[in-house]
Amino acid sequence: MEVRSIEELTVIATEVRKDIIRMLGAAGSGHPGGSLSAADIVTALYFRVMRGDPANPQWPDRDRCVLSKGHAVPVIYAAMAQAGYFPREELMTLRQMGSRLQGHPDMRRLPGLEACTGSLGQGLSIGAGIALAGRLNRQAYRTYVILSDGECEEGQTWEAAAFAAFHHLDNLTAILDYNKFQLEGPVKEILDLEPMAEKWRSFNWIVREIDGHNMAQIVETLEWAKTNTGRPTIIIAHTVKGKGVSFMENNNHFHGVSPTPEETTKALAELERA
């Protein structure tokens, strides 16, 4: 895989955000807020950190990425298209009948997706299973799971956290897209998750908190996670919901509402200036 510089990754992340806006605007439905907040993390994974081959998406030794917050799959589609897994023009078929690009990931239809997700709280369990399978099969791939903060209110997330630590799954890295909002409002007003880092440490995970929009910090921390042994790692990435589009940032209206044609034009104009 070509090693991209931090500057190149930053440019790609902006292109990913543009494609998110374009496809959601064309679809007339979807989830922009949580897709935009994860764009820098996903860009670092797909263009710098993970081993993969767009020409051979089922390569047995590829690294795996499970998007537990399946409603934010536009960010994965945008990154995959940029990386060459499928033509970028196919992005404009998002959520259309017969499209491979469903509103939540469908691994049966699009090679390169690792799990069908969308029922929140299940992704870490899937990722832990994939990581354990890799160990049992003596494969060297790493597994990454992108979590939302709202789904950390669910018990299954913590059952998976206990399982992964008990089995010493040091080939598993979770990344928490901690944008502080969920469907119905601010996380702290629905079920406050703080102290977040201490909770994960109490489950015997290695923990680091970062700025989820600082590309250099994201890359350095993901590479650091590869060196950890004996325990799984979680990276708590503090992010901004709707990052990159001023009128979407921290505006929970855009959790699950696509931009209007006028808003699409305005958002793309902002991103062009980024």
* CA atoms of 41 and 213, how far apart (whole Å): 8
Q: Rounded to an integer, what distance in angstroms lies between the CA atom of residue 165 and that of residue 170?
A: 8
What integer pLDDT is reported at residue 3 of this predicted model?
Answer: 83
What gap in Å lies between CA 268 and CA 244, rounded to an integer? Answer: 10
Report the pLDDT averaged over residues 56-76: 98
Alpha-carbon distance of 141 to 172, in angstroms, equals 9
Asked whether the predicted pLDDT for residue 1 surpasses 70, the reply is: no
DSSP 121-133: T-HHHHHHHHHHH
Residue type, 234: I
CATH of 6-273 given 3.40.50.1980, 3.40.50.970, 3.40.50.150, 2.60.40.10: 3.40.50.970
Instruction: Give 14-44 pLDDT, tens digit per residue.
Output: 999 999 999 999 999 999 999 999 999 999 9
Q: Where are the domains of the chain?
A: 6-273
Q: Is the pTM higher than 0.95?
A: yes
